[in-house]
Structure 1
Amino acid sequence: MNLSVEDYSLLTDLYQLTMAACYTGEGVETKRASFELFIRHLPTDFGYLIAMGLAQALDYLQNFRFSGSQIAALQATGIFTHVPDRFWLLLESGIFTGDVWAVPEGTAVFANQPLLRVEAPLWQAQLVETYLLNTINYQTLIATRAARIRDVAGEEAKLLEFGTRRAFSPQGSLWAARAALAAGFNATSNVLAALQLGEKPSGTMAHALVMALAAMEGSEDEAFAAFHRYFPGAPLLIDTYDTVAAAQRLAKKVNGGEIELAGVRLDSGDLVALSKQVRSLLPGVSIVASGDLDEIEIARLKAAGGEIDIYGVGTKLVTGKPVNGVYKLVDIEGIPVMKKSQGKATYPGRKQIFRSWERDKIKADTLGLITEKSLGEKPLLQLVMKDGKQLQPPATLAAIRQHTIASVASLPAATRQLHSPQLVTVNISPALQELTTQTKKRIHNTIVY
C-alpha cells in the first residue's frame, strides 16, 4: 500500500471516474469547466487559515496520466461494463491540459475564498478533485497550526516538528513536516522530509536509551555521558527518573568544566516549575519542552513564566480539527453554476479575491468576479499553470516561510487571538451578488415541479 508518482491518477474516489465516464457518454467530456477549492467554515476558534500544499498539487497535475495496466485494472472491476469505448481511449491518451489559478502558499485566507481554481476540460477537472483536496486540506491545516504556534511562541523561540509517529500516514508525515517548516518551524525530526527539502533534521534522544544504558552501565549519568560523547551538540533528555536530580548532577559537571552542555529536554511533569528549577541549576543551557504541546499550552506556559527556549510539537500539530475544504463546479462553457443546497450553497462564476490594507493590516477582502477591475485592492489569485505547464518554479521553503510570517503579521490582533477571534470582513461584490441572483432565477426556471 505504498504510493508512487505512477499511482497518482488512481488515487481518487470512484465517483470521479464514473462521472468522467458519464460525461464521455454524453459527449460533454471536453467542455471547458471551472472548479474552485475553498473552505466553507473555519475550524472553531480559528480566525484565519494559511494556504499550503500548492507545490504538491501542481506536481500531481503535471504527472497526471493513466497507464495501460491501470486501465486494465479498472476494466477488470466490472464496474465500467456499460461505458463507451471512447472513455478508455480518453484515459489512455489523456494528460492534464488545464489552467490553475491559486493564492501563493503562506497566504492568510478566510472562509468561502477560493484557494485554487482549475479551468480544464470537464473530465480532467473532475478527476483531480480528490487528490487536490487531500493535499491542500491537510497541509493548510498543519500550516495554520504551525503559524499559530509561531505567533504565540514568538520570534526568538525555536520550534521543532516532532509529529511523524502520530501523523495519519507516512505520506502525511512528509506533508506535515513540509507545511510546518513552511509556516515558521525551524526544523523537523523527520529525516526523509528534512533531506528531501534540503534541511537538516533535528532531534534529541529517547527514554529507551537512558533506561537501556543505565541498566547495563550502572547509572543515568553513564547514559548521558555516552550520548554526549557521540552527539555533543544534542540536548539530553533528563526526565526519565528524577528531572531535578539529573539537572543537579549535570550542573556539577558543567560548573566543574567536565562537560559543555548544549541543552536538556523536559517531556513530562509540571513544565513551568521544572523549567524554572532547571534554569536556576543550568542558567546557560537551552531548555527544550515537549509532550502534547499546542498553541494553547505554549501560551499557558509562557504566561506562567516557563523558562523554555525550544518547543517540540508533535501530536496536536499533525492531528486535530479538520479543514473542510470543498471543490465545486462554478462555470461550465461560460455558464455560471451554483449549488442551492441548504447550508451548502455556493457562489457562481469564476472569482477573484481583492484584498485591501490599512496601516499594514488587512482591512477587508472582497470576493468578486475574475472580470472585475481592482480598485486599489490586491488580487490574490494568480495564474500558476497554463495548458498543464507550471509558469514558475516552485517557491523555496524559505520564501514561503517569510510570506507566512508576513501574512500573519498583517492580520489584526483580534483575528490572531486564540479564543473567539474576530473574523476579517469578507464582502461580496455587487457584480457577484447580481450574478448569484440571476443564477438562482435561472435554476428556478429549470426545475420541474
Structure 2
Amino acid sequence: MTYSALLAAPADYGLLTDLYQLTMASCYAGEGVADRRASFELFARRLPANYGYLIAMGLAQAIDYLANLRFSARHLEALRQTGLFDRAPAEFWQRLETGVFTGDLWAVPEGTAVFANQPLLRVEAPLWQAQIAETYLLNTLNYQTLVATRAARLRDVAGPAVKLLEFGTRRAFSPQGALWAARAALAAGLDETSNVLAAVELGRRPAGTMAHALVMVFAALEGSEDDAFEAFQRYFPGSALLIDTYDTVAAAARLANQGNPVAAVRLDSGDLVALSQAVRSHLPETKILASGDLDEYEIARLQRAGAAIDGYGLGTKLVTGDPVNGVYKLVDIDGTAVMKESSHKATLPGRKQIFRRYDRGQAVADRLGLVDEPPAPGEQPLLQLMVKQGEPLQEVESLDAIAARTAASVASLPAAVRQLEQPAAYPVALSDALAELTARTRRGPQPQSQS
C-alpha cells in the first residue's frame, strides 16, 4: 500500500469532478443529445450576510482548466474498474477518449463587483463538456471569489496606505486552497503573502516576520528574548520582530534603548489598542503590525479606537468564513431557454448579459438582460468573450491589473452598498425581455403521467 499525496495536476482535470457529471454525460451520449449546444451560467443566488457585493475571482484558473480538460488512458481504465459504467454506451467512451473542450466561455473580468443572480461566467459548449466542467468551475470561482471579496472589504476599510499581508496558508482548506487564497487576496488588493510557493509562482517576494518559537528557543537556550531579536536582525535586517511573547511593552522599551533602529514590530495578542499606543510611545519611528484572527470589522474597531497600527496580517478570517454559494445552472439548450422552478431555488432562463449604468464614474444600477439586447445609453455590458471554440482570446492578466480593477470597481459602488453593517441593496432590475422570457418559460405544475 502506498500513500497518495492527492495533489491535483492539469493532467488529472478530467477526473476532478463529481460522479454525477460523468453519469449524466453517459446518459446524454446514450440518448443522442451529448452534442447539443448547452449554456450554463455560474452565479450566487444570494450574498453572504452583511455583504453588499462580491468580487469575481478565479477566471484564470477556469480558463486553464478548460484548456486542459481531457481524459487519459489511465483515467478511462480507472473509470472502467469502478464497475459503475458497465452499461455506459460506447459513445460515452468515445467522447472521453478523444474529446477536449471546444466551447465558448463568457465571463466578467476578475476584480469586477457582482451581485446576486448575476452570472460570473457562462459556458456555451456541447452538453457533455459543459456538464463535466461544473464541479471544478464552482470550486475555483466560489473559493477565490470568497477570498477576493473579503480582501476587497479589508482594503476598503483599512484604506490605501495601510499594509495588508495575507497570512492564511495554515488556515486555508487545503494546500491548493492556500495557493488560490494567496492569489485571490493579492488580486483583490492585499500587498503581500507569506506563502512562499504562491509568491514565487506569482512573481512576488514573500513577506513575513517571525514566530514565538524563535523567541522561546533563545530565551531557553541563550538566556533572553533580546538574544532572539539580535540574532534575527543579524540575518534579516529590516524584518519585523514579534514582541508579544512575554511582556510587549517591556520588549519595546528595551528595543528603544538598544540604540539601533527597529524597522517593524508585530503584535499578535492582547489589547491591540493599548499595546500599540504604548509601543508607539517607545518606538515612534517603527512600523507596528498586528495579527491574530483579524477581519474587516475588527480593523474598523481598532481604527475608531485610535490604535497605532500601520499594517495587518490577515489569516483565518480571510481564507475561511461565510461561503459564496455559487451555483451552475442550465439556462439554454439548443436555443431553447430553460429554468429551474424549485421553491426558493428558481433560476432565470436564457443566456444573459449584465448591463451596468454609470454616472460620472459611479455605478448607479444594473440591468440583467438577454445577450441579444443592446446596452442602453450610459450602460456597459460586463460579460466578455474569454474563450472561443476552446481557444483563449486574451492574455493572462497581471495581479496588479486585476487589483486595480478591484479597487476601481469597489470605489465605484455607492457608500451605502460598501458599508460593513446592513449594507444597502444595490439596484438590479430585470430587463423587459428577460421578464417576458421568464414568464413564457415558466411551466407551472405539470400533470402526472397515467400509469
Residue 444 of structure 1 and its aligned partner are, at CA, apart by 5.5
Total equivalences in the alignment: 444
Choose from 366, 382, 385 the match for 2:384: 382
In the alignment, what sits opposite 1:85? 90
Of stretches 57-66 and 83-92 in structure 1, the one that deviates more from structure 2 is: 83-92
2:173 equivalent to 1:168: yes
Question: Which residue is 2:137 aligned to?
Answer: 132
Matches within 5 A, 1:226-375: 226-253=231-258, 256=259, 259-375=260-376
Q: Match for residue 412 of structure 1?
A: 414
CA displacement, residues 370-426 of structure 1 (integer Å, 9 cap, x when unaligned): 010111210000000000110011111000000000000001000000000001110
Whole-angstrom CA distance in 2 between matches of 1:412 and 1:107: 15
- Match of residue 117 from structure 1: 122
Match of 1:15, SS?
A: helix
**Unaligned stretches of 5+ residues in structure 1:** none
Q: Which residue identity is paired with 1:95?
A: V
2:399 corresponding residue in structure 1: 397
Moved over 3 A (4+): 443-449
Give the Å deviation of 1:260.
2.2
- 2:38 corresponds to which letter in structure 1? A
Measured in 1, the distance between the counterparts of 2:113 and 2:271 equals 35
The farther-off stretch of 311-320 and 355-364 is 355-364
* C-alpha displacement of 1:135: 0.1
Please give the alpha-carbon distance, in whole angstroms, between the structure 1 residues aligned to 2:447 and 2:197.
Answer: 54
Cα deviation for residue 8 of structure 1 reads 1.0
How many Å apart are 1:358 and its aligned residue?
Answer: 2.2
**Residue 360 of structure 1: CA displacement?**
2.1
Q: How does 1:10-89 map to 2 (within 5 A)?
A: 10-89=15-94
Residue in 2 that maps onto 1:435:
437
Q: 1:151 pairs with 156, 167, 186, which one?
A: 156
User: Cα offset for 1:361?
Assistant: 1.6
Please give the alpha-carbon distance, in whole angstroms, between the structure 2 residues aligned to 1:415 and 1:30.
43
Instruction: Tell me, in whole angstroms, the C-alpha distance in 2 between the residues paired with 1:333 and 1:221.
Output: 72
TM-score, length-scaled by structure 1: 0.98
Establish whether residue 198 from structure 1 lines up as the match of residue 203 from structure 2. yes
Q: Deviations over 1:148-184 (max 9, x none)?
A: 0000000110000000000000000000000000000
Amino acid paired to 1:44: A
Alpha-carbon separation, structure 2, partners of 1:417 and 1:249: 41
- Note the alpha carbon deviations across 1:53-97, whole angstroms, 9 max, x for none: 000000000000000010000010000111111211110001000
How far apart in 1 are the matches of 2:383 and 2:10?
27
| 2-structure distance, mates of 1:48, 1:394 | 25
Aligned residue type for 2:35: T
Rounded Cα–Cα distance in structure 2 between residues aligned with 1:230 and 1:83: 63
Deviations 1:232-270 (A, max 9, x none): 1100000000000000000001xx3xx221100000000
Q: What SS class does the counterpart of residue 83 from structure 1 fall into?
A: coil
Partners of 1:304 and 1:68 in 2: how far apart?
62
Q: What is the CA–CA distance in structure 2 between the aligned matches of 1:320 and 1:63, rounded to whole Å? A: 31
Structure 2: how far apart are the matches of 1:81 and 1:98? 29
Counterpart of 1:36 in structure 2: which amino acid?
Answer: E
2:3 aligned residue: none
Root-mean-square deviation over aligned CA pairs: 1.0
Once the two structures are TM-superposed, the CA of residue 445 in structure 1 deviates from its matched residue by 6.8
Q: Name the % identity.
A: 68
CA-to-aligned-CA distance 1:272-325 (integer Å, 9 cap, x gap): 000000001000000010000000000000000000001000000000000000
Deviation of residue 448 (structure 1)? Answer: 4.9
Task: Tell me the CA shift for residue 224 of structure 1.
Answer: 0.4
Paired with 1:83 and 1:135, the residues of 2 have a C-alpha distance of 29
Read off the aligned partner of 1:418 and give its amino acid letter.
L
Letter in 1 for 2:370: L
After superposition, the Cα gap between the structure-2 partners of 1:448 and 1:423, relative to the gap in structure 1 and judged at 3 Å, is: farther
- What are structure 2's unaligned runs of at least 5 residues? 1-5
Asked if 1:104 corresponds to 2:109, the answer is yes
**Does 2:218 correspond to 1:217?**
no
